[in-house]
Chain A
Amino acid sequence: MQKEDKLIIGGHEFNSRFILGSGKYSLKLIEAAVKDAGAEIITLAVRRANTKEQENILDYIPKNVTLLPNTSGARNAEEAVRIARLARELGCGDFVKVEIMRDSKYLLPDNYETIKATEILAKEGFVVMPYMYPDLNVARDLVNAGAATIMPLASPIGSNKGLATREFIQILVDEIDLPVIVDAGIGRPSQACEAMEMGAAAIMANTALATAGDLPLMAAAFRQAIEAGRKAYLSGLGRVLTRGASASDPLTGFLHD
C-alpha cells in the first residue's frame, strides 16, 4: 500500500501542497483557494491585517486553515523580526514567511538579511519559511539558521512568467533536505505541475488565481496540476531522452569481468 504523502513543515503535517500567497486577496479568492484548490495554508500580510470591523482579512480565513503571516514591508532583518513578533501577538501562530525586500520595483528578496532574520526567529521558536532568490549557498545558510522550508522564487513576483530560475531550483531540490516550496511567478497550472515534477514540495501562488476569469475553475486546475506533478515525481519520472535515439548495442558491451 502506498504510504500517505504528507507535506511536513516544522513538524506540522499538511495534505495539500498548494499554498495561497497574499499579494491580492478577496473573499472569493480565499474561498476558491480553500474549497477548490484545497489550500490548508494561507499567507497573510501582517501589514494588511487589522483589528477594525471592515474588510479584516482575518475574518475571511476559515478556522481549520493554517495562517502563514508574512513580513512583507520589511526592508531589513530587524524590521522582519518586529513584524513577525507582531504577528504572533495578533494571534497568528508560530508560522512566519520571511520576506525582506529593499527594492520596490521588482520586489526581489534580500537573501543576506533573510538569513539574519531566519536565525533570530528560529531561535524564538517560529516555524520560519524564508522567501529567497534561489542560491545554493544561501539555502545552506538558511538550513543552518533553522529554517523549516526554503521558498525560492520561480520568477519575479506577480509576473506569471513561470520557472525562469528552473535550473537553480532543481539544484536546491537536489541538495537541500528541507521542503522546497516554489514561490512567486507561477502563472499557470502547467508551470506548477512542472515544478512539482522536479521535486518541489509545494507551490505558492496568488496572482495566477487572483487575476483568473473564473476563480474556482482556476483553483481546481491548480489543485489537479500540483497533484499530477507530485504523482509524477513520486512515480519516478520515465526516461527522457535529451536528444536523438539511444544506441541499441551498449557501448560498454565489450567489458567482461
Chain B
Amino acid sequence: MENQYFVDSEHLSPEALKRKHELETNPASRKNHMEYLPGMEIIESEICETVMSQMKAYDYSQYTARDVRAALDHETCSVEDFKALLSPAAEPFLEEMAQKARLETSKHFGNTVYLFTPLYIANYCENYCVYCGFNCYNHINRMKLSMEQIEKEMKVIADSGMEEILILTGESRTMSNVEYIGEACKLARKYFRMVGLEIYPVNTEEYRYLHECGADYVTVFQETYDTEKYETLHLMGHKRVWPYRFDAQERALRGGMRGVAFSALLGLSNFRKDALASALHVYYLQRKYPHAEMSLSCPRLRPIINNDKISPLDVGEKQLCQILCAYRIFMPFVGITVSSRESASFRDGIVKIAATKVSAGVSTGIGDHESKYTGKEADGTEGDEQFEINDDRSFQKMYEDMAEEGLQPVLNDYLYV
C-alpha cells in the first residue's frame, strides 16, 4: 500500500496546477536530485558513501533468531549486531530488547528525561514535498512572525518554565533568510538556556553565523535515505537536492555547532533501511567528530491539512519501539527524541525504555502560543500547522506526568560556552 499524497487545491491558478501535475507525472520535468544548485557548498566527506553502501547492501531477511540472540548477548553492539536487531527476526525479542535498552539508558542517562518545545516562526516554503503540510502547493494560512511577535511568543513559552527551545521555519530562503533566523536566535538566547534550529540546510559559514547568534544544536531530517524514493517525494525546490541535505550535519559541526540531530521520516520508504542509515549516519559522524553531541529521532508520517489520509503505513508502534530499542543498544550515548507525533501513552512508555527527550506544549502552527498557552482568543492572524500532533500535553502536564512515571524531568543540561 502507498499513501496518496497528491491533492489539488481549488485556489491554485491554472498555470500552477499545470506545473504541479507536470511535476507529479513527468519525472523528466524534475531537476536532477543528486545535483547541487548554485550556492550550495560541497564538502569533501566520505561519510555518505560509507553509510549508503551499507544501507544498499543491507538484506534484513538474512538475519535469524540466532543472530539476534548473539547480538543481545554481546557486551557491546557491533554494526552487524545492530543490523540483526533491526531485522524482522528480532521482532519476537522485543521485550528482551526493551529490557536491555532500558539498562543502557539508565546507565547513561539515569532516570532523567529532557523537555523542550518547538517554536515555528514562519511556514513559507519554496519546495513541493508531497507529504508535508507546508508544501508550496498546499493551500494553508501562511505567516512569518515579526521580531516583536517572536519575542512575544518566546515570553509566553519561557513563562511556562521551559528552558530549551527549537526554532523552526518552513524551507524558504527568500521569506525566512539566514539573517532573520539569526535575529530570532539572538532573541531566544535572552529567554532560553538552549537554542536549537530546525531549518533548511545551509553552508558552513552560515551555520557559523547562526552559532554566533546563539544557536548550538542543528536538526536536519533526511526524510528518507533512499535516494530514488526521495526523488519521487521532493519534486521541486532546493530541498530536492539530496546530497546537500545529507552533509548538513557535518557542515553544522564544522561551523562550530555543539551538536546535531538526525532522522528519517518513517513511512516514506523502507523503514528498516532508513533506520539503519540514520543510525550509521550518526555512528560514522561521531567517529569523525568525537566531541560532538548527537541525537536521533524517529518521527512517523502524520496527516496534514488537506490530506488526512497520510499514515505511516507498515510502521506500527511495535516496529517503532523495535527501532528505538535497537538505536539505544547500538549507541547508548546518543540522545533519543520522541516527538508529539506519537501518542501520550506511547511516549510515556518509551521514555522508560529508550527515549531521553520529549517535546511538550507543542504547536506546529505559527504565532499561536499565546492563545494555546493562555487561552486568550486568537486574533485570526495565525499560520497553519505543519502536521497534526498527537500528544498535546502542556509543559506543566508533561512535567507532572513524567515525574509521576518516576522520572526526573530536566529542563536544561546545557551551557553555551
Contacts and interface: CB of A to CB of B under 8 A. Distances in A.
Interface string A39-53: 000000111101011
Interface stretch (B14-22, B121-129, B286-294): B286-294
A206 B193 CA distance: 25
Interface in A214-245: none
Nearest to A25: B408
A211 B107 contact: yes
B93 interface: no
Nearest to B193: A50
Interface in B358-417: 399, 408-415, 417
A6 B399 CA distance: 42
B106 interface: yes
Nearest to B110: A24
A82 B408 contact: no
A23 interface: yes
A33 B178 CA distance: 48
Interface string A43-84: 001111010111100000000000000000111000100110
B86 to A, nearest CB: 20
Nearest to A156: B107
Nearest to A157: B108
B163 A52 contact: yes
Contacts of A144: none
A214 to B, nearest CB: 14
B316 interface: no
B291 A103 contact: yes
Interface in B143-174: 161, 163
Contact of A24 (B286, B408, B411): B408
B58 interface: no
A47 B294 contact: no
Interface in A153-169: 158-160
Interface residues of B, number: 28
A24 B114 CA distance: 12
Contacts of A73: 414-415, 417
Contacts of B333: 104-107
A207 interface: yes
A46 B333 CA distance: 20
Contacts of A15: none
Interface string B89-119: 0000000000000000011111110000000
B107 A82 contact: no
Contacts of A102: 290-291
Interface string B330-366: 0101000000000000000000000000000000000
A101 B258 CA distance: 13
A55 B410 contact: yes
A54 B161 contact: yes
Nearest to A110: B291
Given A74-B417, A75-B291, A83-B415, A160 B107 contact: yes
Contacts of B107: 158-160, 207, 211
Contacts of B399: 54
B110 A82 contact: no
A104 B408 contact: no
Contacts of B331: 105
A232 B409 CA distance: 41
A75 B292 CA distance: 10
A54 B411 CA distance: 9
A47 B413 contact: yes
Nearest to A28: B408
A160 B417 CA distance: 30
A47 B412 contact: yes
Interface in A3-54: 23-26, 45-48, 50, 52-54
Contacts of A207: 106-107, 110
B290 to A, nearest CB: 5
Contact of B294 (A46, A52, A104, A206): A104
Counting chain B CB atoms within 10 Å of each CB, the highest count among A101, A105, A206 belongs to A105
B52 to A, nearest CB: 23
Contacts of A160: 107
A45 B290 contact: no
Given A79-B417, A104-B294, 16 more contacts: A24-B110, A24-B111, A25-B110, A48-B410, A48-B412, A52-B163, A74-B417, A101-B291, A103-B291, A105-B286, A106-B333, A158-B108, A159-B107, A210-B111, A211-B106, A211-B110
28 contacts: A24-B109, A24-B110, A47-B412, A47-B413, A47-B414, A48-B410, A48-B412, A50-B411, A52-B161, A53-B161, A54-B411, A55-B408, A55-B410, A73-B415, A75-B291, A82-B417, A83-B415, A83-B417, A86-B415, A102-B291, A103-B290, A104-B290, A105-B333, A160-B107, A207-B106, A207-B110, A210-B111, A211-B107
Interface of B: 106-112, 161, 163, 193, 286, 290-294, 331, 333, 399, 408-415, 417
Closest 9 CB pairs of A and B: A24-B110, A47-B415, A102-B291, A79-B417, A103-B290, A26-B408, A210-B110, A158-B107, A54-B161
